Structure 1
Amino acid sequence: MKLLTSLCRGWVLATLVLRAAPAFAHAGYPDTTSVTLRRDHPEDLFVGATFGAVISRDSGKTWHWVCAEAMAYGGWRPETFLWQPEGTLLAATGADLTRSSDGGCTWQVHPYFKSRGLWPMGLASPASNPARLWVSTGRSGSPNGLFRSDDGGETFTPTSLQSNTPNALDNSIFTAVKVAPSEPRRLYVSASTPTGLHLYRSDDEGGTWEDIPQPFPDYQSEYSRAYDLFVLRVADTDPDRLWARISWQGWTYVMESRDGGHTFQSVLHPENQTRDGIDEYLIGMEVSPDAKTLWAATPTRLFRVREGDPAATLMPLPDGNACVERQGDVLYVCGATRVHDWALATTTDEGQTYTPLFNLPDLKAPACPAGTPVHDICRSRWPQFAAQPDIGADPTLPPEGPLPDGGTPDAGSSEDAGTLTEPPVPQPSTGPCGCSSPGGLLPVAGLFLLTPFSRRSRRNPET
């Protein structure tokens, strides 16, 4: 029975790999990549993934798929999501700002940045005023800058921080923007300019800016210098304490400032980030409410840095995939289903033990009404889902119409998605494990993924 269960899970993951390949051929394993909780509604969770996203509206009891093809961002996977209290989902993809006002069922590209040829990279909004949004852009050779919205993202206006101003030379790329939680008027924007790396600081919500050059003299050589400055976090209670990342000679460094960005010191060293001789880069970080503990995620592992400790601690789990997000005293951590039986888990003891919250084989069909891109495009792109009835759909959404038949949708993007009318697909047969059995040989991707599953049963997910 255990072998059958492993085979079923392997087949589910193989299906994800095959279905995700057209949009993300570079994605590799089907993995979770980010966690976003709806503000003031912790029961609503949105998890980015290499195969699109998954969404839960019941504190993680059930999870539904949102395919990448319906999310209006093409081959650019968002790294920054924001879920506002009134329900709007936003994503800065690095190419567009996309929005959904119906719980992730319909996504649209914001015309303001699209019409100007700008690429939104950073996205921030103060918890005390969710209607205010800050977006930084970073398309090389474009008039980049920081943009402000006071109506929840319906309209935007440029701030005084623009690439054609004296404080930000042409060709500047504004990589990220952060708001100090304890002082919403304090903004930090990181940038790469022709004169080097810069951090811009405002104490009056973008009215005026202090330009703070960041030469990072310890990270220079005759042939190279630090690059890719990204401001990552500002402490909950201290607006002068912040963290950023830089890269140099292939390494990623986590830097900390305690004087409002004027000086930085490294707190996570590159020797901590090697895995089997391969260098890994930082993909995200979190800090505790008192700012005395830092967690940093690479694509495969999670590190913890405690104030006063001489070196970072490599956490035993996750292994094979990682991301980290904090809400209060709870950490949400991405993991690898293929290795330790969960793709998302929570921990309240700094990663010593985990409570699984989501496992990829438990993923359900999209919970969106017929006529929305996520329903009409996504349900037909996964054979197991195309044959499922619409049970378990989000009860807050309108009733769905007739289920479209499975097949390849005519819609190539969310703009032209409509109700599908393809010929019917035969109902898959059910194997002894309850999975849908393929009508032919198991795909090569499935065989590849089965190998770690057959070995995984001996692992203890909390050791």
Structure 2
Amino acid sequence: MNLLSSLRRALLLLLAPLALYTPPALAHLGFPDTTSVTIRRGHPEDMFLGATFGALISRDTGKTWRWICPESMKYGGWRPETFFWQPDGTLIAATGAALIRSTDGGCTWSVHDYFKSQNLWPMGLASPPSTPSRLWVTTGRSASRNGIYRSDDGGQTFTPVLQSDTAVFTAVKVAPSDTRRIYVSGGTATNLRLYRSDDEGSTWEEISHPFPEYSEGSRPYDLFVLKVSDTDPDRLWARVSWQGWTYVLESKDGGRTFTSVVHPEGEEHDGLSEYLIGIEVSADGNTLWAATHTRLFRVRAGESRATQLPLPDGNACAQREGDVLYVCGASRLHDWALATTADEGQTYTALFNLPDTKPPACPAGTPTHDICRPYWPQFAPTIEADPYLSPEETPPDAGTPPDGGSPGVEDAGTDIPRPDAGTTDPKPDEPQPPPKKGCSSASGLVPAACLLVLSTLRRTRRRNPEN
């Protein structure tokens, strides 16, 4: 009995320190997954992956990936849907609660003071490849004076070009073939609207979209403009939700009318029953991919229904670079979290697997080093990575913030990050981040135990694919 008691006490002493920490919260019912792909313009060796557990960065064309924890990125419970990597090495993202930036390769992140000081929530972000110094940001906080904002200096300063006391502006896209053409989605409490400018934001046309075909008994909601054709400024794609379904829509007349284009194979309904991560379109606009949390659909011009691709399974996102499609996947199911395909999703070349992730390699004194490195021993087992790796302390080559910080940008410093706009005390009219589910909803040893079980199940499933 004394020996048993001694063993129990020893075990408690061993596990007690773990209870002081909580691993980073994971989405997708607790599964760690990649969510978006960004490649630096003019520097294809630099790649950035959004993830449910922060982000991953590669400086060698995907051969090595380093983790960036969400705590150092200052976005709290609001995860960016996508990131922009500008030619000068600046990383920027609209989180839904703040505009965050990094000028040193993800080692230091700051919250843009312009939107924070006005209690605005940046939701949409666009930057035309031909004019990367020009940024467009939209805000969508209810019961606020929202607007469309333009920057001509790479995001240092912003000027409103359209504001409203009653509307929210959900997303913004620029036509690649004519950067004067800007599309912004949004709406009021009673109507969905598309805002179009043909002169770079000097004037705007407001187009109402009641979508009567979806309005029996309830109104559609969440109109988001998703993509504009590479070659035709009048051709664009958007999404709208209604009664639990998401519809991917196409317009060929500059946003004045839309038709549904995604009809999943084998389903009677003409919408997606899962949340839409995003879409990608081929250069000629004749092939479209729609990614959800678990599946990737492809629809070609002339086809009546979308085809569900065999892979990825369990997680999906899509980003086209030239003729190559980058696709997110689920390492727990098919041993890659990022792959490329050159044949529209028929075959894949694995580029990255989560267990190959390495700890942050930022210099001491930066938030990503000082905040993320202590988390690594706990986080690594959740993705089956080596928790004992010790990277060389070499700073990234993307430049460092100027002395005193950038104009209009809060200096992140090296302290523990302060809450951003998405972590302040909620007000009755403010949407809140979704509740944590699965293992990530608990703290201390509970998620560690859950993640150990999940890790074991993932290994078992990969070793026994017939099960």
TM-score, length basis structure 1:
0.81
Contact 1:182–1:237 (Cα < 8 Å) also in 2? yes
Partner of residue 328, structure 1: 322
Mapping of 1:220-299 within 5 angstroms? Answer: 220-221=215-216, 223-269=217-263, 279-299=273-293
In 2, Cα distance between equivalents of 1:356 and 1:337: 10
Deviates more, 1:178-187 or 1:344-353: 344-353
Which among 444, 448, 463 is matched to residue 450 of structure 2? 444
> Which structure shows the bigger proportion of residues in strand conformation?
1
In 1, Cα distance between equivalents of 2:265 and 2:346: 23
Corresponding position: 1:196 with 2:202: no
Partner of residue 335, structure 2: 341
One-letter code aligned to 1:396: D
Corresponding position: 1:361 with 2:355: yes
Unaligned ranges ≥5, structure 1: 1-16, 164-169, 399-409, 417-441
Distance 1:332 1:394, change over 3 A: farther
One-letter code aligned to 2:163: Q
Distance 1:182 1:116, change over 3 A: same
What is the number of residues matched between the two proteins? 398
Structure 1 residue ranges, 4+ long, deviating more than 4 angstroms after superposition: 24-27, 270-275, 384-387, 392-395
Which among 92, 98, 101 is matched to residue 99 of structure 1? 101
CA positional deviation for 1:279: 2.9
Corresponding position: 1:71 with 2:66: no
Counting aligned pairs with the same residue, the percent is 67
Partner of residue 405, structure 1: none
Contact 2:88–2:398 (Cα < 8 Å) also in 1? no
Contact 1:18–1:445 (Cα < 8 Å) also in 2? no
Which among 414, 417, 435 is matched to residue 413 of structure 1? 417
Query: SS in structure 1 opposite 2:226?
Result: strand
Distance 1:110 1:397, change over 3 A: closer
In 2, Cα distance between equivalents of 1:236 and 1:354: 24
Contact 1:346–1:355 (Cα < 8 Å) also in 2? yes
Contact 1:252–1:270 (Cα < 8 Å) also in 2? no
Distance 1:122 1:273, change over 3 A: farther
In 2, Cα distance between equivalents of 1:219 and 1:254: 13
Distance 1:291 1:100, change over 3 A: same
Query: SS in structure 2 opposite 1:30?
Result: coil
Query: SS in structure 1 opposite 2:455?
Result: helix
Partner of residue 24, structure 2: 20
Which among 205, 209, 217 is matched to residue 204 of structure 2? 209
One-letter code aligned to 1:389: S
In 2, Cα distance between equivalents of 1:103 and 1:78: 17
Bigger relative CO (Cα 8 Å, ≥ 6 apart)? 2
Corresponding position: 1:456 with 2:446: no
In 2, Cα distance between equivalents of 1:171 and 1:353: 47
Contact 2:34–2:337 (Cα < 8 Å) also in 1? yes
Corresponding position: 1:178 with 2:182: no
Contact 2:367–2:416 (Cα < 8 Å) also in 1? no
One-letter code aligned to 1:91: A
Partner of residue 81, structure 1: 83
Partner of residue 372, structure 1: 366
CA positional deviation for 1:317: 0.2
Query: SS in structure 2 opposite 1:232?
Result: strand
In 2, Cα distance between equivalents of 1:444 and 1:175: 36
Query: SS in structure 1 opposite 2:355?
Result: helix
In 2, Cα distance between equivalents of 1:251 and 1:343: 26
In 2, Cα distance between equivalents of 1:56 and 1:175: 30
Q: 1:296-327 deviations in whole A, cap 9, x for unaligned?
A: 00100000000001110000000001111111
CA positional deviation for 1:273: 7.2
One-letter code aligned to 1:50: T
Q: 1:408-439 deviations in whole A, cap 9, x for unaligned?
A: xx9542689xxxxxxxxxxxxxxxxxxxxxxx
Partner of residue 121, structure 2: 119
Query: SS in structure 2 opposite 1:76?
Result: coil
Unaligned ranges ≥5, structure 2: 1-20, 381-386, 400-413, 421-447
Contact 1:335–1:344 (Cα < 8 Å) also in 2? yes
CA positional deviation for 1:43: 1.1
Contact 1:141–1:171 (Cα < 8 Å) also in 2? yes
Contact 2:265–2:308 (Cα < 8 Å) also in 1? no
In 2, Cα distance between equivalents of 1:132 and 1:273: 42
Q: 1:244-299 deviations in whole A, cap 9, x for unaligned?
A: 00001110000000000011000013676799xx9312110000000000000010
Distance 1:203 1:395, change over 3 A: closer
Distance 1:372 1:459, change over 3 A: same
Contact 1:69–1:414 (Cα < 8 Å) also in 2? no
In 1, Cα distance between equivalents of 2:274 and 2:107: 34
Q: 1:37-89 deviations in whole A, cap 9, x for unaligned?
A: 11111111110111100000100000000000000111111113111000110
In 2, Cα distance between equivalents of 1:395 and 1:108: 17
CA positional deviation for 1:34: 0.8
Distance 1:29 1:411, change over 3 A: farther
Partner of residue 34, structure 1: 36
In 2, Cα distance between equivalents of 1:378 and 1:41: 26
Mapping of 1:143-162 within 5 angstroms? Answer: 143-159=145-161, 161-162=162-163
Contact 1:107–1:414 (Cα < 8 Å) also in 2? no
Partner of residue 423, structure 1: none
Partner of residue 43, structure 1: 45
Q: 1:118-173 deviations in whole A, cap 9, x for unaligned?
A: 000000011111110000000001100100001000001100x210xxxxxx3311
CA RMSD of aligned residues (A): 2.6
